[in-house]
Chain A
């Protein structure tokens, strides 16, 4: 509730993350697997003295650098920036917990970069052993950066630790070595190897390489391909075993995830079959078209797996830490009692502006909550262990150091009571009520739902429902669908949101109306 919500029409802002992420993963996984292949094949060429083979790998290194160092690096920054825009609270939390993980990863990025440039630009100039060593340094650094980022992203799916829980211990290592860490590391390493071989098939078949060179190169990809498949199978098995229960249930109950799971399984099987029939059994027959087909299948597999990965995390964006709608777990109750609109900095600002039109409108933004109830002194409770107690972590730092009134978010009404005054909102103009409902919608629901049209648009899902039904649904948001965050508003806000949703809800389709008893329709 600290940050403005970024509204992206139709698509929703988290979907921007998905788009950038898929594009990035396609290149970053290649940066890891391709690094290994370059180091391995360069070493092999040096050992066997095959200058033609080595020459090919030099040309592949150029392609590799142009793709990974440029596109991979920029889209990597792109993911980072997009998560900061679309999920600022989650990013804030991840950086708080893993800042040194990222800092270590940065060191390996620089190592990767220097090694990659040295490896390519000094291809024929470095002593052979030094050149080979530089290739392996690149491969090692790239793989370590994969391990580091996997420790962070896997925590988002399962925050429970292998050796102890981060929630109770608050330690970096407990968060890093979470239960999904090993399976996802295996999985990503496997994908990297397999994907890199597909890039090699494309690259070697695109150029005018001699048939023997082409065949040899493709044959040499067999071991990494098989290793990749084995690692992937182990990774997927571990991933399933260590999924949180909510995620496992999502795999079974959510139709869209079922579909994507089916696509992922079918496409993965198709990739394996094609690799078996093509590069494994008849490497001489592999053409650019078939390699490109493999690549498109890989895009489909990675795209669907990313969708599944994101989808089964719901309602969290970070497992048991932050909900998808940028509310910390454990704060939904206090926020609900205080009022959703009152609790947010920017929703509060919206209310303040509304006061210009309705001067007698009573609002309770954090600042005047304080003015009305200074009885609770600012919270100076220790912030708890590093990365630890989340409720403590919301306490204000040292408010006396700020030229601002000192309050804490925890300075909230007791359970069972509500801030008075919100019923005022139901007495303002209908148009303004709808607009307030829209504010609630955008800040509470827009992370997963577009409004009338677009990604998982909520309007069409409510056709046929009455206002009362919608209100009742909103108040128990996480009951029928545990994959939704709990309702964080108060009763008045539920009414406002319901009225807004009613306004964007399309009418019952005429062909349905014709076949239904009119009296049954709302």
Chain B
């Protein structure tokens, strides 16, 4: 007997590849902001507290960007979740019902985290240091907890063999209380750590992108701004005594041009662009440190995925001994007699190579071998390749783990052609409209 009911399957509304494409694409798009709030937020808090001038610039910029990043991440997460429910509902619903309260708990964690991020941004704007660190810390803890529950849910979904035990432990009259959890399963934590590794790479990329594409654009504007009292008060890089002194000089009308510029460092850079360049140099240096952590954790987790998860489990047992269905481990390749490779042989080398190249580029950038926006574009490409192949691998593994219960690829298609075409048209229209809006905003920033 199996806990997955394959006897009442609905057809897929679109071809299998289409659903997989949008599920994977949606996950990649969702993962970028997700990585930023998962790893970027704690890094920003640390930099805010103990970072130097440039570290604080990055910290404050990221903390102020965070509410928008959070909003995008949540909305971009809808598509993968929608297509999971389209094709994987037979495994998705039972697993989430078994851990219903944990699953709903994600919302209870994310909602205050989201508001805390707004608060953090506002406090950063007000030039505070400890208060935003505190609220950011709270948000970060809530986000990490939500992330762990997500890791737990996807792990549970991919292991129907564990459901019955969970259900037995947490049910009343055969009905699930929704209090089940698989916190004892080490895969939950490994899954979470693997995401954290990739998250570090994404933060590295964002740091470079922000410093080379977004930060420098603001330099010109700063030169035209005259310092206000609030600038002195909010400038986080000035010691209190210096602030006091500058205010006194300003009030007395004795503020020199140099001292005026001192006040404008906060978030703008100076009129000469030296501050911007210094920030970019710092960004490269910091990226080359960050990337080591990211690469080590990412490669470790990728290795884990490719060579550990895919090797096991030896067999998958069904939920009840009385009618045990023992599924084979990885199918045997008839030509070699070896277990068949689940992930196409060319995927791991490309993923490893992209991740390694990511690190090499950052290090070369630090040594000044490649510089400027070209470097960022190349790093971005490596990031895209790494995320894409990781997402593809993740999908292949997910399919493989549940294959013995539900083979999504074998579900017939009940094509819904006209709504699908309308969706694609709307998607293209939406992309164009969003491009126009972002372009309009970017143009304004440049001006």
Contact = CB atoms under 8 A, between A and B. Distances in A.
B359 to A, nearest CB: 32
B85 A91 contact: yes
A439 B174 contact: yes
Overall SS of chain B's interface: helix
Interface in B1-51: 1-11, 13-14, 22
A3 B93 contact: yes
A81 B178 CA distance: 13
Nearest to B164: A349
Interface stretch (A392-400, A423-431, A480-488): A392-400
Most interface-central of A73, A99, A117, A387 (chain B CB within 10 A): A99
A347 interface: yes
Instruction: Pick the most buried of B2, B4, B5, B427: most chain A CB atoms within 10 A of its CB.
Output: B5
Interface stretch (A101-109, A156-164, A204-212, A216-224): A101-109
A173 B407 CA distance: 29
A388 B415 CA distance: 11
A355 B1 CA distance: 14
A494 to B, nearest CB: 17
Nearest to A107: B430
A62 to B, nearest CB: 10
Which of A77, A82, A103 counts the most B-chain CB atoms under 10 A from its CB?
Answer: A103
A161 B1 CA distance: 40
Contacts of B396: none
B384 interface: no
Given A2-B5, A85-B178, A439-B173, A349 B75 contact: no
A172 B13 CA distance: 10
Interface stretch (A38-46, A236-244, A294-302, A362-370): A362-370
Contacts of A385: 414
A383 B9 CA distance: 9
B322 interface: yes
A355 B322 contact: yes
Given A7-B172, A73-B74, A402-B6, A92 B96 contact: no
A73 B114 CA distance: 11
Nearest to B172: A7
Interface string A375-398: 000000011111110000110111
Given A108-B430, A366-B7, A96 B107 contact: no
B255 interface: no
Interface in A417-452: 435, 438-439, 441-443, 446
B173 A403 contact: no
Contacts of B404: 402-404
A233 interface: no
A435 to B, nearest CB: 6
Interface stretch (B76-84, B259-267, B302-310): B76-84
A104 B421 CA distance: 10
Given A69-B71, A409-B8, A85 B97 contact: yes
B148 interface: no
Contact of A122 (B89, B114, B172, B444): B444
A502 to B, nearest CB: 16
Nearest to A77: B107
Contacts, number: 281
B184 interface: no
B134 interface: no
B100 interface: yes
Contacts of A402: 6, 404-407, 410
Contact of A352 (B8, B320, B328): B320
B325 interface: yes
B367 interface: no
B174 A404 contact: no
B175 A5 contact: yes
B427 to A, nearest CB: 6
B36 to A, nearest CB: 16
Interface in B77-106: 78-79, 81-83, 85-86, 89-90, 92-94, 96-98, 100, 103-104
Contact of B13 (A7, A92, A100, A441): A100
Interface in A1-55: 1-8
B241 interface: no
A380 B23 CA distance: 28
Given A99-B416, A404-B6, A443 B433 contact: no
B72 interface: yes
B206 interface: no
A446 B175 contact: yes
A114 interface: yes
Contacts of A172: 416, 418-419
Interface of B: 1-11, 13-14, 22, 67-68, 71-72, 74-76, 78-79, 81-83, 85-86, 89-90, 92-94, 96-98, 100, 103-104, 107, 110-111, 114-115, 118, 164, 167-168, 171-178, 319-320, 322-323, 325, 327-328, 403-407, 409-412, 414-416, 418-420, 422-423, 426-427, 429-430, 433-434, 437-438, 440-441, 444-445
Given A2-B94, A74-B114, A172-B418, 6 more contacts: A91-B85, A108-B430, A110-B75, A137-B437, A349-B320, A393-B10
26 contacts: A5-B97, A6-B100, A70-B114, A74-B107, A75-B107, A81-B107, A82-B104, A88-B97, A92-B85, A95-B82, A100-B420, A107-B423, A110-B434, A173-B418, A346-B167, A365-B323, A366-B7, A367-B1, A384-B414, A388-B414, A398-B411, A402-B404, A403-B404, A404-B404, A409-B7, A435-B173
